[in-house]
Amino acid sequence: MSLGRVLRNTVIAVLALLWLVPTWLLVVNALVPAGSYSGSPHWLPRDFGLFGNMSQAWDKANLGPALGNSLLYSVVSAAAAAVIAGFAAFATIIMPVKRQALWFWVIYSGTLLPLQVFIRPLFLSYAHTSLYDTQTGLVLIYTAIAVPFAFFVMRNYALTLPREVVEAARMDGASWWRVFWQIHVPLTRSAMIAVFVFQFVAVWNDLMFGITMVTSRNIRPVMAALADLQGNYSNVGPPIVLAGALLVSLPTVVLFFSAQRFFVSSLKIHR
Partner 1 sequence: MSTSVTDRRPPTPAGGPGPTRRPTRRPPLTQKWATARERVTAGGFMAPAVLLVALFLLAPFVWTIYRSFFSDTRTSPFSWFDNYSLFASDPALSRSIQNTLMWVVGTVALPFVLGLAIACMTNAGRFSRLARLCVVLPYALSGSAVAVVWNFMLTTDGAVNQVLTGLGLDSLAQGWLLTWPGNTVVMILANAWQATGVAVILFLVGLQSIPPETLEAGALDGASGWQQFRHIVLPQLRPVSIIVIGMSLVNGLKSFDLIWVLTQGGPGRATETLAVSMYNETFLELRPGAGAAIAVVLTVIVLAASWLYLRRQLDVKGV
Site for partner 1 in 208-247 (CB under 8 A): 208, 212, 223, 226-227, 230, 233, 238, 241-242, 244-246
Alpha-carbon distance of 238 to 3, in angstroms, equals 44
- Which of the ranges 47-55, 59-67, 144-152, 186-194 carries the binding residues for partner 1, by CB under 8 A? 144-152
Footprint (CB under 8 A) of partner 1, residues 44-83: none
Other residues' Cβ atoms within 10 Å of the Cβ of residue 1: 7
Ramachandran assignment for 120, one of left (phi > 0), alpha (psi -120 to 50 degrees), beta (any other): alpha
Q: Of the candidates 48, 51, 105, 181, which one interacts with partner 1 according to CB under 8 A?
A: 105
Alpha-carbon distance of 271 to 265, in angstroms, equals 10
- Which of the ranges 44-52, 58-66, 145-153, 188-196 carries the binding residues for partner 1, by CB under 8 A? 145-153
Smallest gap from Cβ 47 to partner 1, in A, equals: 18
Q: Of the candidates 6, 12, 127, 165, which one interacts with partner 1 according to CB under 8 A?
A: 12
Q: Which of 95, 98, 92 is nearest to 177 (CA)?
A: 95
| Side chain identity at residue 130, one-letter code | S
Footprint (CB under 8 A) of partner 1, residues 123-142: 125, 140-141
Footprint (CB under 8 A) of partner 1, residues 183-202: 201
Sign of CA dihedral 31, 37, 39, 42: negative
User: Would you list the DSSP string of 149-199?
Assistant: HHHHHHHHHHHTS-SHHHHHHHHTT--HHHHIIIIIHHHTHHHHHHHHHHH
Nearer CB in complex with partner 1: 135/205: 205
Q: Of the candidates 39, 162, 173, 186, which one interacts with partner 1 according to CB under 8 A?
A: 39
Smallest gap from Cβ 188 to partner 1, in A, equals: 14
What are the b/e assignments for 135-147, b being 16+ CB within 10 Å? bebbbbbbbbbbb
Footprint (CB under 8 A) of partner 1, residues 147-186: 147-148, 151, 156, 159, 163, 166-167, 176-177, 180
Q: Which of 140, 149, 147 is nearest to 72 (CA)?
A: 140
Smallest gap from Cβ 68 to partner 1, in A, equals: 17
Q: Of the candidates 60, 62, 104, 169, which one interacts with partner 1 according to CB under 8 A?
A: 104
Q: Of the candidates 106, 127, 165, 168, which one interacts with partner 1 according to CB under 8 A?
A: 106
